[in-house]
Structure 1
Amino acid sequence: MGDHAQPWQNRLRVAGFQPFSTVDWPGTIAAVVFLQGCPWRCTYCHNPELQERSVPPSIHWSAVEAKLAKRIGWLDGVVFSGGEPTVDRALPEAIARVKEMGFRVGLHTGGAYPDRLARLLGMLDWVGLDLKTSPEEYAALTGAPGSGNNAYHSATLVARSGVPYECRLTYHPQVVSDDTARLLVRCAKTLGCERFVIQEFRPTPNPDAAGLTTHVSMPAALLEELRGILPGIELRTSS
Protein backbone atom coordinates (compact mmCIF):
# COMPACT_ATOMS: atom_id res chain seq x y z
CA MET A 1 0.00 0.00 0.00
CA GLY A 2 1.43 3.39 -0.99
CA ASP A 3 2.16 6.05 1.59
CA HIS A 4 -0.66 8.31 0.37
CA ALA A 5 -3.15 5.48 0.81
CA GLN A 6 -2.30 5.17 4.49
CA PRO A 7 -4.54 6.87 7.09
CA TRP A 8 -3.18 10.31 7.94
CA GLN A 9 -2.40 9.14 11.48
CA ASN A 10 0.11 6.68 10.02
CA ARG A 11 1.60 9.21 7.60
CA LEU A 12 2.22 11.96 10.16
CA ARG A 13 5.83 11.73 11.35
CA VAL A 14 5.90 12.87 14.96
CA ALA A 15 9.45 13.35 16.23
CA GLY A 16 8.60 14.43 19.76
CA PHE A 17 5.96 15.65 22.17
CA GLN A 18 6.30 18.24 24.93
CA PRO A 19 3.28 18.10 27.24
CA PHE A 20 3.62 21.57 28.76
CA SER A 21 5.15 24.85 27.59
CA THR A 22 4.65 28.50 28.45
CA VAL A 23 7.23 29.84 25.97
CA ASP A 24 6.40 28.28 22.60
CA TRP A 25 3.19 30.29 22.27
CA PRO A 26 3.55 33.48 24.32
CA GLY A 27 0.71 33.98 26.77
CA THR A 28 -0.63 30.47 26.17
CA ILE A 29 -0.19 27.21 28.06
CA ALA A 30 0.42 24.71 25.30
CA ALA A 31 1.65 21.30 24.38
CA VAL A 32 4.14 21.09 21.50
CA VAL A 33 4.12 18.46 18.75
CA PHE A 34 7.42 18.26 16.84
CA LEU A 35 7.23 16.95 13.28
CA GLN A 36 10.09 15.33 11.39
CA GLY A 37 11.69 16.94 8.38
CA CYS A 38 13.00 20.28 7.10
CA PRO A 39 14.16 21.29 3.60
CA TRP A 40 16.70 23.77 5.00
CA ARG A 41 20.10 23.18 6.60
CA CYS A 42 20.73 26.26 8.73
CA THR A 43 24.11 25.95 10.44
CA TYR A 44 22.80 27.12 13.82
CA CYS A 45 19.77 24.79 13.83
CA HIS A 46 18.81 23.73 17.36
CA ASN A 47 17.15 20.53 16.15
CA PRO A 48 19.39 19.10 13.40
CA GLU A 49 18.15 15.62 14.25
CA LEU A 50 14.75 16.69 12.93
CA GLN A 51 16.00 17.69 9.47
CA GLU A 52 15.86 14.34 7.65
CA ARG A 53 12.34 13.51 6.54
CA SER A 54 13.16 9.81 6.08
CA VAL A 55 13.50 9.20 9.83
CA PRO A 56 10.54 7.11 11.08
CA PRO A 57 8.20 8.69 13.63
CA SER A 58 9.27 8.24 17.22
CA ILE A 59 5.71 8.52 18.52
CA HIS A 60 2.52 7.44 16.78
CA TRP A 61 -0.24 10.03 16.58
CA SER A 62 -2.55 7.81 18.62
CA ALA A 63 -0.19 8.19 21.60
CA VAL A 64 -0.06 11.96 21.15
CA GLU A 65 -3.84 12.16 21.00
CA ALA A 66 -4.16 10.07 24.15
CA LYS A 67 -1.80 12.42 25.98
CA LEU A 68 -3.73 15.46 24.75
CA ALA A 69 -7.04 13.94 25.82
CA LYS A 70 -5.76 13.75 29.40
CA ARG A 71 -4.93 17.46 29.28
CA ILE A 72 -8.28 18.81 28.11
CA GLY A 73 -9.16 21.61 30.47
CA TRP A 74 -5.53 22.10 31.49
CA LEU A 75 -4.02 23.28 28.23
CA ASP A 76 -5.07 26.27 26.15
CA GLY A 77 -3.59 25.07 22.89
CA VAL A 78 -1.28 22.87 20.87
CA VAL A 79 1.69 24.11 18.85
CA PHE A 80 2.99 22.22 15.82
CA SER A 81 6.72 22.74 15.44
CA GLY A 82 9.71 21.01 13.91
CA GLY A 83 11.80 20.77 11.87
CA GLU A 84 9.49 22.53 9.46
CA PRO A 85 5.99 21.23 10.22
CA THR A 86 4.50 22.26 6.87
CA VAL A 87 6.74 19.68 5.20
CA ASP A 88 4.32 17.04 6.51
CA ARG A 89 1.34 16.68 4.19
CA ALA A 90 -0.73 15.12 6.98
CA LEU A 91 -0.48 18.32 9.04
CA PRO A 92 -3.92 19.69 7.98
CA GLU A 93 -5.63 16.54 9.26
CA ALA A 94 -3.72 16.70 12.53
CA ILE A 95 -4.67 20.35 13.02
CA ALA A 96 -8.32 19.58 12.30
CA ARG A 97 -8.29 16.76 14.84
CA VAL A 98 -6.73 18.97 17.55
CA LYS A 99 -9.38 21.59 16.87
CA GLU A 100 -12.09 18.93 17.21
CA MET A 101 -10.69 18.14 20.65
CA GLY A 102 -11.30 21.74 21.66
CA PHE A 103 -7.75 23.09 21.57
CA ARG A 104 -6.54 26.25 19.91
CA VAL A 105 -3.72 25.61 17.43
CA GLY A 106 -0.43 27.44 16.90
CA LEU A 107 2.25 26.87 14.28
CA HIS A 108 6.01 27.45 14.22
CA THR A 109 7.28 27.84 10.67
CA GLY A 110 10.14 29.24 8.67
CA GLY A 111 7.84 29.79 5.72
CA ALA A 112 9.48 27.24 3.46
CA TYR A 113 6.18 26.34 1.75
CA PRO A 114 4.02 29.46 1.34
CA ASP A 115 1.34 27.67 -0.68
CA ARG A 116 0.84 25.08 2.05
CA LEU A 117 0.90 27.78 4.72
CA ALA A 118 -1.78 29.74 2.86
CA ARG A 119 -4.09 26.73 3.01
CA LEU A 120 -3.50 26.33 6.75
CA LEU A 121 -4.01 29.92 7.90
CA GLY A 122 -7.79 29.63 8.17
CA MET A 123 -7.33 26.77 10.64
CA LEU A 124 -4.79 28.48 12.90
CA ASP A 125 -5.11 30.63 16.01
CA TRP A 126 -1.51 31.86 16.07
CA VAL A 127 1.65 31.72 13.95
CA GLY A 128 5.28 32.20 14.93
CA LEU A 129 7.25 32.83 11.72
CA ASP A 130 11.05 33.01 11.71
CA LEU A 131 12.77 35.53 9.45
CA LYS A 132 16.39 34.44 9.48
CA THR A 133 18.23 37.02 7.42
CA SER A 134 17.80 39.41 4.49
CA PRO A 135 16.17 37.92 1.37
CA GLU A 136 19.45 37.93 -0.57
CA GLU A 137 21.37 36.05 2.13
CA TYR A 138 18.86 33.26 2.74
CA ALA A 139 20.28 30.72 0.32
CA ALA A 140 23.75 30.97 1.87
CA LEU A 141 22.30 30.43 5.33
CA THR A 142 19.80 27.66 4.52
CA GLY A 143 21.56 25.93 1.64
CA ALA A 144 18.31 26.15 -0.34
CA PRO A 145 17.97 28.36 -3.44
CA GLY A 146 14.75 30.38 -3.39
CA SER A 147 14.33 30.08 0.37
CA GLY A 148 14.38 33.86 0.82
CA ASN A 149 11.51 34.39 -1.60
CA ASN A 150 9.50 31.67 0.13
CA ALA A 151 10.12 33.03 3.63
CA TYR A 152 9.20 36.61 2.78
CA HIS A 153 6.17 35.51 0.74
CA SER A 154 5.04 33.54 3.79
CA ALA A 155 5.57 36.59 6.01
CA THR A 156 3.33 38.63 3.73
CA LEU A 157 0.62 35.97 3.86
CA VAL A 158 0.75 35.81 7.65
CA ALA A 159 0.76 39.59 8.11
CA ARG A 160 -2.31 39.96 5.88
CA SER A 161 -4.22 36.95 7.20
CA GLY A 162 -5.77 38.45 10.31
CA VAL A 163 -4.42 35.53 12.35
CA PRO A 164 -2.50 36.59 15.49
CA TYR A 165 1.21 36.14 14.84
CA GLU A 166 4.75 37.20 15.50
CA CYS A 167 7.61 37.48 13.05
CA ARG A 168 10.92 36.95 14.78
CA LEU A 169 14.63 37.17 14.20
CA THR A 170 17.18 35.13 16.16
CA TYR A 171 20.14 37.44 16.64
CA HIS A 172 23.81 36.54 16.59
CA PRO A 173 26.33 38.96 15.04
CA GLN A 174 28.16 36.12 13.26
CA VAL A 175 24.94 35.22 11.47
CA VAL A 176 23.17 38.57 11.17
CA SER A 177 25.27 41.70 10.75
CA ASP A 178 24.00 45.09 11.87
CA ASP A 179 23.35 46.08 8.24
CA THR A 180 21.50 42.82 7.62
CA ALA A 181 19.35 43.39 10.71
CA ARG A 182 18.45 46.87 9.48
CA LEU A 183 17.57 45.56 6.02
CA LEU A 184 15.55 42.67 7.44
CA VAL A 185 13.48 44.94 9.69
CA ARG A 186 12.86 47.37 6.81
CA CYS A 187 11.67 44.45 4.68
CA ALA A 188 9.41 43.23 7.47
CA LYS A 189 7.89 46.71 7.79
CA THR A 190 7.30 46.87 4.04
CA LEU A 191 5.57 43.48 4.16
CA GLY A 192 3.27 44.72 6.92
CA CYS A 193 4.76 42.71 9.80
CA GLU A 194 3.82 44.90 12.76
CA ARG A 195 4.46 42.31 15.48
CA PHE A 196 8.18 41.62 15.47
CA VAL A 197 10.33 39.89 18.07
CA ILE A 198 14.12 39.74 18.34
CA GLN A 199 15.25 36.58 20.12
CA GLU A 200 18.69 36.35 21.64
CA PHE A 201 20.70 33.40 20.37
CA ARG A 202 20.90 30.41 22.67
CA PRO A 203 24.06 28.26 22.44
CA THR A 204 23.44 24.98 20.65
CA PRO A 205 25.27 21.64 20.89
CA ASN A 206 25.08 21.32 17.10
CA PRO A 207 28.73 20.66 16.06
CA ASP A 208 28.10 22.31 12.67
CA ALA A 209 27.31 25.64 14.35
CA ALA A 210 31.01 26.53 14.51
CA GLY A 211 31.78 29.50 16.67
CA LEU A 212 28.21 30.01 17.86
CA THR A 213 28.80 28.61 21.32
CA THR A 214 28.21 31.64 23.51
CA HIS A 215 25.23 33.80 24.37
CA VAL A 216 25.34 37.22 22.68
CA SER A 217 22.97 40.10 23.43
CA MET A 218 21.91 42.60 20.80
CA PRO A 219 23.60 45.96 21.47
CA ALA A 220 21.16 48.44 23.01
CA ALA A 221 22.00 51.08 20.39
CA LEU A 222 21.19 48.71 17.53
CA LEU A 223 17.93 47.66 19.17
CA GLU A 224 16.84 51.27 19.54
CA GLU A 225 17.79 51.94 15.91
CA LEU A 226 15.67 49.00 14.77
CA ARG A 227 12.78 50.24 16.89
CA GLY A 228 13.12 53.54 15.05
CA ILE A 229 12.42 51.62 11.83
CA LEU A 230 9.66 49.41 13.23
CA PRO A 231 8.24 50.68 16.53
CA GLY A 232 7.21 48.16 19.14
CA ILE A 233 9.90 45.57 18.44
CA GLU A 234 10.05 43.20 21.41
CA LEU A 235 13.34 41.81 22.74
CA ARG A 236 13.01 38.26 24.03
CA THR A 237 16.00 37.32 26.15
CA SER A 238 17.31 33.79 26.59
CA SER A 239 17.23 33.97 30.40
Structure 2
Amino acid sequence: MDASALKVGGYTAFSATDYPDQLSAVVFVQGCPWRCGYCHNPHLQQRTGASPLAWEDLCATLQKRAGLLDAVVFSGGEATIDPALGEAMAQVRAMGFKIGLHTACIYPARLRSVLPLVDWVGFDVKAPFSRYAGITGIANSGDPARACVEAILASGVAYECRSTVHPVLLPEESVLEMAGQLAAMGVENYVLQPFRSTGCNDDSLIASAASAGEYPPAALEQQLAPLFKRFSVRRHH
Protein backbone atom coordinates (compact mmCIF):
# COMPACT_ATOMS: atom_id res chain seq x y z
CA MET A 1 0.00 0.00 0.00
CA ASP A 2 1.15 3.55 -0.77
CA ALA A 3 2.79 5.18 2.27
CA SER A 4 0.62 8.26 1.73
CA ALA A 5 -2.31 6.25 3.15
CA LEU A 6 -0.65 6.00 6.59
CA LYS A 7 -2.99 7.44 9.22
CA VAL A 8 -0.85 9.62 11.45
CA GLY A 9 -2.44 10.77 14.70
CA GLY A 10 0.51 12.70 16.09
CA TYR A 11 4.19 13.53 15.81
CA THR A 12 6.97 14.31 18.26
CA ALA A 13 9.82 16.19 16.64
CA PHE A 14 12.50 15.20 19.15
CA SER A 15 12.88 12.43 21.71
CA ALA A 16 15.87 11.10 23.62
CA THR A 17 13.89 8.29 25.29
CA ASP A 18 11.87 6.42 22.63
CA TYR A 19 14.86 4.64 21.02
CA PRO A 20 17.74 3.73 23.36
CA ASP A 21 20.85 5.86 22.88
CA GLN A 22 19.47 7.49 19.74
CA LEU A 23 17.92 10.89 19.06
CA SER A 24 14.64 10.28 17.31
CA ALA A 25 11.41 11.66 16.00
CA VAL A 26 8.23 9.72 16.82
CA VAL A 27 5.32 9.11 14.45
CA PHE A 28 2.11 8.07 16.21
CA VAL A 29 -0.09 5.86 14.03
CA GLN A 30 -3.84 5.88 14.63
CA GLY A 31 -5.77 2.87 15.81
CA CYS A 32 -5.71 0.09 18.40
CA PRO A 33 -8.29 -2.69 18.87
CA TRP A 34 -7.46 -3.22 22.55
CA ARG A 35 -8.79 -1.18 25.44
CA CYS A 36 -6.22 -1.40 28.21
CA GLY A 37 -7.37 0.57 31.24
CA TYR A 38 -3.97 2.18 31.79
CA CYS A 39 -3.55 3.35 28.17
CA HIS A 40 -1.68 6.67 27.97
CA ASN A 41 -2.85 7.43 24.42
CA PRO A 42 -6.61 6.69 24.38
CA HIS A 43 -7.10 9.47 21.82
CA LEU A 44 -5.22 7.30 19.32
CA GLN A 45 -7.39 4.20 19.72
CA GLN A 46 -9.87 5.17 17.00
CA ARG A 47 -9.05 5.37 13.28
CA THR A 48 -10.65 8.37 11.64
CA GLY A 49 -11.75 8.63 8.03
CA ALA A 50 -8.86 10.89 7.12
CA SER A 51 -5.37 11.15 8.55
CA PRO A 52 -5.09 14.10 10.98
CA LEU A 53 -1.53 14.66 9.70
CA ALA A 54 -0.68 14.19 6.04
CA TRP A 55 2.14 11.68 5.57
CA GLU A 56 3.57 13.62 2.63
CA ASP A 57 3.92 16.76 4.78
CA LEU A 58 5.50 14.79 7.60
CA CYS A 59 7.97 13.21 5.17
CA ALA A 60 9.02 16.67 4.00
CA THR A 61 9.65 17.62 7.62
CA LEU A 62 11.66 14.45 8.27
CA GLN A 63 13.75 14.98 5.15
CA LYS A 64 14.86 18.36 6.52
CA ARG A 65 15.98 16.64 9.72
CA ALA A 66 18.06 13.95 8.03
CA GLY A 67 21.54 14.10 9.53
CA LEU A 68 20.26 15.88 12.65
CA LEU A 69 18.39 12.89 14.10
CA ASP A 70 19.43 9.26 14.25
CA ALA A 71 16.09 7.51 13.99
CA VAL A 72 12.35 7.64 13.42
CA VAL A 73 10.16 5.59 15.76
CA PHE A 74 6.71 4.40 14.70
CA SER A 75 4.40 4.19 17.70
CA GLY A 76 0.68 4.37 18.36
CA GLY A 77 -2.04 3.44 18.94
CA GLU A 78 -0.70 0.28 17.41
CA ALA A 79 1.55 1.00 14.45
CA THR A 80 1.17 -2.45 12.89
CA ILE A 81 -2.58 -1.91 12.47
CA ASP A 82 -1.85 0.19 9.38
CA PRO A 83 -1.33 -1.59 6.04
CA ALA A 84 0.84 1.31 4.86
CA LEU A 85 3.37 0.94 7.69
CA GLY A 86 5.94 -1.05 5.70
CA GLU A 87 6.00 1.45 2.84
CA ALA A 88 6.29 4.34 5.27
CA MET A 89 9.20 2.66 7.04
CA ALA A 90 10.96 2.00 3.75
CA GLN A 91 10.54 5.63 2.73
CA VAL A 92 12.03 6.88 6.00
CA ARG A 93 14.86 4.35 5.89
CA ALA A 94 15.77 5.64 2.42
CA MET A 95 16.33 9.07 4.01
CA GLY A 96 19.09 7.54 6.15
CA PHE A 97 17.22 7.13 9.44
CA LYS A 98 17.27 4.06 11.65
CA ILE A 99 13.81 2.64 12.23
CA GLY A 100 12.32 2.01 15.66
CA LEU A 101 8.97 0.39 16.38
CA HIS A 102 6.77 0.37 19.47
CA THR A 103 4.24 -2.46 19.38
CA ALA A 104 1.74 -4.09 21.71
CA CYS A 105 2.12 -7.37 19.78
CA ILE A 106 -1.34 -7.55 18.21
CA TYR A 107 -0.83 -8.43 14.52
CA PRO A 108 1.74 -11.23 14.04
CA ALA A 109 1.62 -11.40 10.23
CA ARG A 110 2.03 -7.68 9.70
CA LEU A 111 4.73 -7.50 12.36
CA ARG A 112 6.70 -10.24 10.59
CA SER A 113 6.39 -8.34 7.32
CA VAL A 114 7.94 -5.13 8.70
CA LEU A 115 10.58 -6.58 11.04
CA PRO A 116 13.21 -6.71 8.23
CA LEU A 117 12.90 -2.91 8.05
CA VAL A 118 13.27 -2.38 11.80
CA ASP A 119 16.52 -1.73 13.69
CA TRP A 120 15.04 -1.79 17.19
CA VAL A 121 11.66 -2.73 18.64
CA GLY A 122 10.16 -1.96 22.02
CA PHE A 123 7.35 -4.42 22.65
CA ASP A 124 4.79 -4.72 25.40
CA VAL A 125 3.72 -7.89 27.15
CA LYS A 126 0.72 -7.17 29.31
CA ALA A 127 0.04 -10.31 31.37
CA PRO A 128 0.50 -14.06 31.41
CA PHE A 129 -0.74 -15.03 27.95
CA SER A 130 -3.77 -16.90 29.28
CA ARG A 131 -4.90 -13.81 31.21
CA TYR A 132 -4.63 -11.14 28.53
CA ALA A 133 -8.37 -10.48 28.32
CA GLY A 134 -8.29 -9.06 31.84
CA ILE A 135 -6.07 -6.25 30.55
CA THR A 136 -7.11 -5.77 26.93
CA GLY A 137 -10.82 -6.51 27.17
CA ILE A 138 -10.48 -8.84 24.15
CA ALA A 139 -10.87 -12.62 24.39
CA ASN A 140 -7.87 -14.75 23.35
CA SER A 141 -5.68 -11.66 22.84
CA GLY A 142 -2.77 -13.50 24.43
CA ASP A 143 -2.46 -15.78 21.39
CA PRO A 144 -1.32 -13.11 18.89
CA ALA A 145 0.82 -11.56 21.60
CA ARG A 146 2.72 -14.81 22.10
CA ALA A 147 3.13 -15.21 18.32
CA CYS A 148 4.52 -11.68 18.04
CA VAL A 149 7.03 -12.24 20.82
CA GLU A 150 8.21 -15.41 19.09
CA ALA A 151 8.58 -13.52 15.80
CA ILE A 152 10.61 -10.72 17.37
CA LEU A 153 12.97 -13.11 19.13
CA ALA A 154 13.41 -15.20 15.98
CA SER A 155 14.19 -12.11 13.88
CA GLY A 156 17.33 -11.20 15.80
CA VAL A 157 16.36 -7.50 15.84
CA ALA A 158 17.48 -5.51 18.87
CA TYR A 159 14.64 -5.14 21.36
CA GLU A 160 13.33 -4.17 24.73
CA CYS A 161 10.48 -6.17 26.25
CA ARG A 162 8.48 -4.26 28.83
CA SER A 163 5.37 -4.66 30.97
CA THR A 164 3.26 -2.06 32.72
CA VAL A 165 2.46 -3.33 36.21
CA HIS A 166 -0.51 -2.27 38.31
CA PRO A 167 -1.10 -3.91 41.71
CA VAL A 168 -4.73 -4.78 40.91
CA LEU A 169 -4.38 -5.73 37.24
CA LEU A 170 -1.11 -7.62 37.76
CA PRO A 171 -0.63 -8.82 41.34
CA GLU A 172 2.75 -10.25 42.27
CA GLU A 173 1.92 -13.86 41.37
CA SER A 174 0.86 -12.77 37.88
CA VAL A 175 4.03 -10.76 37.38
CA LEU A 176 6.10 -13.79 38.36
CA GLU A 177 4.12 -16.05 36.01
CA MET A 178 4.49 -13.60 33.13
CA ALA A 179 8.21 -13.14 33.69
CA GLY A 180 8.71 -16.90 33.86
CA GLN A 181 6.95 -17.36 30.52
CA LEU A 182 9.08 -14.68 28.89
CA ALA A 183 12.33 -16.03 30.26
CA ALA A 184 11.42 -19.51 29.01
CA MET A 185 10.81 -18.08 25.54
CA GLY A 186 14.28 -16.55 25.51
CA VAL A 187 13.62 -12.92 26.43
CA GLU A 188 16.84 -11.47 27.85
CA ASN A 189 16.10 -7.73 28.09
CA TYR A 190 13.09 -7.02 30.30
CA VAL A 191 11.78 -3.83 31.89
CA LEU A 192 8.93 -3.33 34.33
CA GLN A 193 7.13 0.01 34.10
CA PRO A 194 5.04 0.83 37.17
CA PHE A 195 1.60 2.22 36.34
CA ARG A 196 1.41 5.98 35.90
CA SER A 197 -1.79 7.97 36.12
CA THR A 198 -0.75 10.33 33.32
CA GLY A 199 -3.22 9.98 30.45
CA CYS A 200 -5.23 7.26 32.21
CA ASN A 201 -9.02 7.73 32.08
CA ASP A 202 -9.84 5.10 34.72
CA ASP A 203 -10.24 6.76 38.11
CA SER A 204 -10.51 3.43 39.93
CA LEU A 205 -7.10 2.31 38.61
CA ILE A 206 -5.58 5.62 39.65
CA ALA A 207 -7.05 5.39 43.16
CA SER A 208 -6.10 1.75 43.74
CA ALA A 209 -2.53 2.33 42.58
CA ALA A 210 -2.18 5.34 44.86
CA SER A 211 -3.46 3.42 47.88
CA ALA A 212 -1.11 0.47 47.21
CA GLY A 213 2.06 2.53 47.50
CA GLU A 214 5.21 1.77 45.55
CA TYR A 215 4.80 -1.21 43.24
CA PRO A 216 6.45 -3.57 42.42
CA PRO A 217 8.06 -4.12 45.82
CA ALA A 218 11.81 -4.61 46.12
CA ALA A 219 11.39 -8.28 47.10
CA LEU A 220 9.60 -8.99 43.81
CA GLU A 221 12.30 -7.20 41.83
CA GLN A 222 14.90 -9.43 43.49
CA GLN A 223 13.00 -12.54 42.39
CA LEU A 224 12.75 -11.34 38.80
CA ALA A 225 16.28 -10.07 38.23
CA PRO A 226 17.99 -13.52 37.98
CA LEU A 227 15.60 -14.57 35.18
CA PHE A 228 17.01 -12.11 32.65
CA LYS A 229 20.36 -11.03 31.30
CA ARG A 230 19.19 -7.42 31.60
CA PHE A 231 16.42 -6.45 34.00
CA SER A 232 15.32 -3.09 35.31
CA VAL A 233 12.37 -1.21 36.74
CA ARG A 234 11.70 2.10 35.00
CA ARG A 235 10.14 4.39 37.55
CA HIS A 236 8.89 7.86 36.66
CA HIS A 237 8.59 10.32 39.51
Q: TM-score of the superposition, structure 2-length normalised?
A: 0.93
* Structure 2 unaligned blocks of 5 or more: none
Equivalent positions of 1:136-215 (< 5 A) are: 136-208=130-202, 210-212=204-206, 214=210
Deviation of 1:210 after TM superposition, in Å, equals 2.4
Equivalent positions of 1:21-170 (< 5 A) are: 21-54=15-48, 56-170=50-164
Whole-angstrom CA distance in 1 between matches of 2:160 and 2:199 = 26
Which amino acid in the other structure matches residue 167 of structure 1?
C
The share of aligned pairs that are identical, in percent, is 42
**Contact in 1 for aligned 2:102/2:123 (Cα 8 Å):** yes
Q: CA RMSD in A?
A: 1.6
Whole-angstrom CA distance in 2 between matches of 1:226 and 1:142 = 24
Q: Does the alignment pair 1:229 with 2:227?
A: yes
Whole-angstrom CA distance in 1 between matches of 2:214 and 2:47 = 31
Which amino acid in the other structure matches residue 225 of structure 2?
R
Which amino acid in the other structure matches residue 3 of structure 2?
W
Aligned to 2:216: 218
Match of 2:100, SS? strand
Match of 1:146, SS? coil
Whole-angstrom CA distance in 2 between matches of 1:55 and 1:201 = 32
**Contact in 2 for aligned 1:43/1:209 (Cα 8 Å):** no
Whole-angstrom CA distance in 1 between matches of 2:196 and 2:134 = 21
* Structure 1 unaligned blocks of 5 or more: none
Whole-angstrom CA distance in 1 between matches of 2:217 and 2:229 = 17
Which amino acid in the other structure matches residue 189 of structure 2?
R
Pick the aligned partner of 1:8 from 3, 8, 25: 3
Which amino acid in the other structure matches residue 47 of structure 2?
R
Q: Deviations over 1:17-62 (max 9, x none)?
A: 1010011112111000000000101111111111112353211011
Deviation of 1:236 after TM superposition, in Å, equals 1.4
Deviation of 1:77 after TM superposition, in Å, equals 0.2
Whole-angstrom CA distance in 1 between matches of 2:91 and 2:167 = 41
**Contact in 2 for aligned 1:86/1:117 (Cα 8 Å):** yes
Question: Higher mean Cα deviation, 195-204 or 76-85?
Answer: 195-204
Whole-angstrom CA distance in 2 between matches of 1:175 and 1:55 = 33
Whole-angstrom CA distance in 2 between matches of 1:209 and 1:110 = 23
Whole-angstrom CA distance in 1 between matches of 2:26 and 2:161 = 19
Deviation of 1:200 after TM superposition, in Å, equals 2.3
Which amino acid in the other structure matches residue 206 of structure 1?
C
Deviation of 1:204 after TM superposition, in Å, equals 2.6
- Structure 1 residues 209 and 95, CA, compared in 2 at 3 Å: closer, same or farther? farther
**Contact in 1 for aligned 2:39/2:199 (Cα 8 Å):** no
Whole-angstrom CA distance in 2 between matches of 1:125 and 1:209 = 37
